[in-house]
Structures are given as structure tokens and as C-alpha cells.
Chains A and B, each alone.
Chain A
Amino acid sequence: MAGEISDAIIRVRDITVQFGKTRVLDGLNLDVKRGEILGFVGPSGAGKSVLTRTIIGLVPKLSGRIEVFGVDLDAASASERRGVERRWGILFQQGALFSSLTVRQNIQFPVREYLNVSQRLLDEIMVAKLGMVGLRPEVADRYPSELSGGMIKRVALARALALDPELVFLDEPTSGLDPIGAGDFDELVRTLQRTLGLTVFMVTHDLDSLYTACDRIAVLGNGKIIAAGSIADMQASQHPWLRQYFHGKRARAVMG
């Protein structure tokens, strides 16, 4: 791997994904450094979620190689793969909470499956995780259908963080949250990243998140990464979509 970032936690090489005749990702390369928060933006329908799902292994790819934690996911044995899966957490766009389990059971589910710990610790950890995502312990015995959209997002994050993963994928985490909640959420992601040495791969449309939470930004267009760098690099870019995105009305409002 000479000439590449040595501490990349995710390394994506020449990924091609095709649905029928439509090529969604076309020879895409991407590195995510350990400990950074990478904001991933791009026009709607550009394939941001597809890339996330390809890395996680939910979408089959035509060609290319994906390494997570230095493990080539195609070559990995089932137990190696499980080891990787234990070390990442995923927040799906719609939360994807198990609708027949309570909030408590949802958060405890991965812990119960992977670690042999007492019910007391399970409960305490669950309360701690709920606190971390800004929810009160009283919601623990509610079912997902009894939660508001923002609460579902928070519970889903708590579940993604249940095993204290090293890497989290967040698919539009702040969509559907009120501005204050979204701000808290960005702050929370920052805190967790600092304290746990977390690496965050965040698909987002929220300019606030890009400014306040992200270390680096990658932009997807035409099936490739068209730009990657700091927010300043993005603002300096002459790419038409980037200019529109970072110099539009909303962007000016955020920058104040």
C-alpha cells in the first residue's frame, strides 16, 4: 500500500456498482482516516446511500475492493467479517429500529448477542446510552411506533453505539431533527469522536453539520469522488455544483 494513507480505516478502491443498465458508482476511490469525521455530500440520487450500503455489504458490487479496519471484506472469512461488523455501528436513514422490540430491547440487542454480561449491566449501559443521545430513561419501555421521528433517530443512534464501535456510519442523521436537536446531535458526534476515538462516516445534507462537525468533506458526483478536503477547500472549489452548494442562499445563512 505504498503512497497511500497508512492509517485509513476504510479503503475503497475502484468500486463499480450497477443497477440494471444504470452505473451508479464508477471506479470510485475513497479513504477514511482513523479518528476523523468525514462528511459525505452530493446531489440527491448521486449514490451516497448506495456507497454506504456497498461498504457495509448490503449492495453487491461489480468490481473493486473494500477494506475496513485493514480487512478485505471480500476475502474475509465469516468470523473475520463478524469481527468487523462488531466494530462498526450503523444508523440507517429511517432508524430501522426493530418494531416489535421496545427501546430497551433494541439497544440491548447487539450487546446481548455479542457480550455475556449481566442484566444489571445491560440496563445500566442502556440508560447511559439513552442519556448520551439526550433521551430520558422513561422512554425505555416504549415501542418504536410510540416515538416521534427525532426520538427514533436518537434511539437508533444509541443502538448503533451500543457496543462502543470504532466506526459509525450515519445516513442523514440530522434530517428530521429540529435545528436545536440537530445542533446537539452534531455536538454529540463531536464529543463521542473525541472521547472514543470514533471514526464517523456521515452522509448528510445539513450544512450546519458540515461546518460544525466534519473534519473533512467528500463530494460524490457522476459515480466518482469529485472533491475531498476541508470546508475551506470546498469553498474555494470552482466545480459548479460545489459553488452552488457552498455559496447558495442557505450556505450564506449558515456562515452568517
Chain B
Amino acid sequence: MSGDPTLERIARGNGLALCAAGSWTARFAPVLERMVADAEKLSGTRPNISIDVSQVSKLDTFGAWLIERLRRSLTHGGVEAQIAGLSANYSSLVDEVRRVKAEPIVDTDRLTISGMLEQIGRAVAGIGGTLIGLIDMLGAVLAAAAHVLIRPRHFRLTSTIHHLEQVCWRAVPIVVLITFLIGCIISQQGIFHFRKFGADIFVVDMLGVLVLREIGVLLVAIMVAGRSGSAYTAELGSMKMREEIDALRTMGFDPIEVLILPRMLALVLALPILAFLGAMAALYGGGLVAWLYGGVEPEAFLLRLRDAISIDHFVVGLIKAPVMAAVIGIVACVEGLSVQGSAESLGQHTTSSVVKGIFFVIVMDGVFAIFFASIGM
């Protein structure tokens, strides 16, 4: 292999020859760039400057371009600098780089303050669009559901069962574990603080109401948004990226009916089941801690629980579950279908699916709280 590249200046008559030698390749690009930048300053100092490349042992695109760049900057006052001693091997490469436009285009995509402000503005203005998109999807899903009700043969049972397994059956262990732990923690904290007033037993009231009305369903909904909402968005998004959804449409299938309805249905069925299991696990965990840590006997716990809560609390919790599931599903599907071609876009929409899903779940919970308070449940 050849040695380091050099660029010597040799006087020839009243002119100057720049003799390039060595290996003018990508490996030496930083050195070459500096040498060429130095030599470019010679432009106009002599009437006649030529570049001699006969000693160049190895040339690639980087070297060829830098020689071409040098030739262009040495071209002065209408006199073109010449490249001499070019071997036949490299002439086509030099011809190739000679066609490169002198002025490289400028990157316009710079981050500026005004650009950032513009982005914020667009995001705010986009909120309305987001809401319309969600309502749009809700309408489309309901229309597809009506269509399936009229023609039950179009219903995709296998797909629904498959998604039910994914979002419900496989979620049971983690949901039960987390709600169990939360039940334990609520109970322990309750006993710890209530004990100061000698009101240990009221921890059962708190646990019962909190778990059945709020925590059970809210916590499970948040977990489902993170677990299944993100999966839906990623699945639909990558199908969109690979034109699978377009393919489905051109074959005369409605993507809403084929892809989204089974997913929505699975989610709407799964969340009440998970919320119920979660509530039971939390009560069990709470009861266990109340017994072991607070000394509340299981019989006393159950007796107190029967007095403290009514069926209303339980019903309130379960009514919320399918609605929250629908919100999570709609958000996930809208986000999935708005994925553009890039991996980055898929990541953005999956993130925003989970963020928006959780946000809407909490908003819905607030709306329900007001509603149930006003009807006295």
C-alpha cells in the first residue's frame, strides 16, 4: 500500500506546479482537506498554476473531488487550471466528479427559535384535529359494528379471540400482581396512620371504596393503555408503513372491520374482566396486610367490608371499565393509522398513543366521578 499523501509546490518557469503524490483516499480525507485548503490560497498569485497528479498512487472519490475542488478554486481570471499526468485508470472518476455542482445545496432544516414556536403553535392548533380524528374513528368503528350486526358472517371471531388472549389472558399475571401490591400498600399506609386515632378497622372502608370505585379500574386502565394500547399502535403502524392496510383496502376489505373492530371488541371485553380481577387481588392483598400487620382477623375484615361497601361501588367501577377500554382502543387505532413512513414516526405515535390514552382515561374518570356524584351513586 502507498504512503501518506503530499502536495508539493514546484516552480516551473513563471508558473507553479502542485505535485500531488501518495494515496489520495478517504482514509486521509481530513489531511487532504487541510492541504487543499492551504493550496487554494495560492489562487491568483501566479499566472499559471497546474496540478500534477502523476505521482498519485491511489485515488478515490474523496481524493478526486478534492483535486477537482482545488482545480476550480485555482481557476482565476478566465484561465482554467489544468490537471496533468492523470492516469487512464482514474480519468473516468475525475470526469465523474467534474460534473458535481460547485455550490452544494444548503441544509434548510435548521432548528430556530421561530421554528420551535411554530411547532408549538401547530401542536396547539392540532388539538382540535385530534379530537375530530377520535370522533371520526369512533363513528367508523360503530358503523363497522352495525354492519357486522346486520351480517354476522363478517364478524371475525378468530381474530377477536386471538386479541382477547393477547390483551386479557396474558395480562392477568401482571395486572393481578400489581393490584395485589397496591392493595397491600394502601392497607399498610391506612393502618399506620389510622392507628394514631385508634381507628384501625376503618382501613377496611377505605380499601373497599377506593379499590372498587377508583383504583381498581383506573390502575388497570392505565396498565392496559401502556401494555395493549401501545401494541395496537405499533401493529397498525407497521402495517401502515408496509402498505398492508392499503393492500387490504384494494382487495375490497374495510380495514376498520378487519383490523380495528376485533381489537376494540377484545379490549372492551378485557378491561372489565381485568378490572374485576384486579379489584379482587387488591382486596386480598389489603386483607392480608390488615391481618398480618394490623391484626385484623379475616372474619372481622369480611364483616366490616360487607357493612362498608354496597353493590353501587362495585357497579360504578365496572361501568367505567368498558368506556375506558373504548377510549384507549380508539386513541391507539387513530395513532396507529397516522404513522408515516419512518421508524421515528412509529415511535412518536406509539408514545403519543400511550400518553393520550392515559390522559383520556383520567379525564373520563373525572367525568364519571361528577356524573355519579350528581345521580347519587
Distance A137 CA – B100 CA, assembled complex (angstroms): 9
Task: Return the CB mask of A70-105 against B: 1 if under 8 Å, else 0.
Answer: 000000000000000000000000000011101010
- What's the least CB distance linking A179 to chain B, in Å? 23
B69 within 8 A of A: yes
B93–A196 touching, CB < 8 Å: yes
A227 within 8 A of B: no
**Contact yes or no, A124 B69, CB < 8 A:** yes
CB within 8 Å of A: which of B289-309? none
Interchain CB contact under 8 A, B104 and A191: no
Encoded as 1 (CB less than 8 Å from any A CB) or 0, chain B from 231 to 272 comes to 000000000010000000000000000000000000000000
Interface mask (B12-27 → A, CB under 8 Å = 1, otherwise 0): 0000000000000111
How close is B101's CB to chain A, nearest CB, in angstroms? 6
Q: How far is the CB of A27 from chain B (nearest CB, A)?
A: 34
Q: Are A127 and B100 in contact (CB under 8 A)?
A: yes
Assembled-state Cα–Cα distance A248/B115 (Å): 60
Give every chain B residue within 8 A of A131 (Cβ-Cβ): 96, 99-100
Residue of B nearest to A138 (CB): B105
Q: How many A-B residue pairs have CB under 8 A?
A: 90
User: Could you tell me if A124 and B90 are in contact, using CB atoms closer than 8 angstroms?
Assistant: no
Closest to A145 in B: B341
Beta-carbon contacts under 8 Å, A11-69 to B: none
A120 to B29, CA, bound (A): 12
Q: Which residues of A contact B136 (CB under 8 A)?
A: none
Q: Is A140 at the interface (CB under 8 A from chain B)? A: yes
- Is A132 among interface residues, defined by CB-CB distance under 8 A? yes
**Which chain A residue has the least Cβ–Cβ distance from B109?**
A141
- Verify if B141 is at the interface (C-beta below 8 Å from A): no
Contacting B at CB under 8 A, from A137-164, are 137-138, 140-141, 143-146, 161, 163-164
Interface pair B33/A128, CB less than 8 Å apart: no
B60 contacts chain A at the CB level, 8 A cutoff: yes
B2: A residues at CB distance < 8 A: none
The answer to whether B342 touches A125, judged by C-beta atoms less than 8 angstroms apart, is no
Q: Given A128-B65, A137-B101, A144-B341, are A121 and B89 neighbors across the interface (CB < 8 Å)? A: no
Q: Is A123 in the interface zone, CB < 8 Å from B?
A: yes
Of all chain A residues, the one with the shortest Cβ separation from B66 is A121
A130 to B121, CA, bound (A): 36
Instruction: For the complex, give the distance between the alpha carbons of A227 and B214 in Å.
Output: 72
Q: Which residues of B sit under 8 angstroms from A164, Cβ to Cβ?
A: 25-26, 60-62
List residues of chain A with CB within 8 A of the CB of B65: 121, 124-125, 128
B69 touches A129 (CB 8 A): no
Is B145 interfacial (CB 8 A cutoff)? Answer: no
Q: Are A99 and B33 in contact (CB under 8 A)?
A: no
From known contacts A104-B107, A141-B107, A141-B109, infer whether A129 and B61 are also in contact, taking CB-CB under 8 Å.
Answer: yes
How far apart sit A22 and B93, CA to CA, in the bound complex (Å)? 46
Instruction: Confirm or deny: B340 has a beta carbon within 8 angstroms of a beta carbon on chain A.
Output: yes
Rounded to whole Å, the gap between the CB of A80 and the closest CB of chain B is: 16
B108 at interface, CB cutoff 8 A: yes
20 A–B contacts from the bound complex (CB under 8 Å): A102-B109, A115-B26, A115-B27, A117-B29, A117-B33, A120-B104, A123-B107, A124-B69, A125-B61, A125-B65, A127-B101, A128-B65, A128-B97, A128-B100, A129-B61, A132-B61, A138-B105, A141-B109, A191-B92, A195-B92
Assuming A99-B343, A144-B341, A164-B25, what are 10 further A-B pairs, CB within 8 angstroms?
A99-B342, A117-B30, A124-B69, A128-B96, A132-B61, A143-B342, A145-B341, A146-B341, A195-B96, A196-B60
7 nearest interchain CB pairs?
Answer: A145-B341, A100-B344, A164-B60, A99-B342, A123-B104, A195-B93, A100-B342
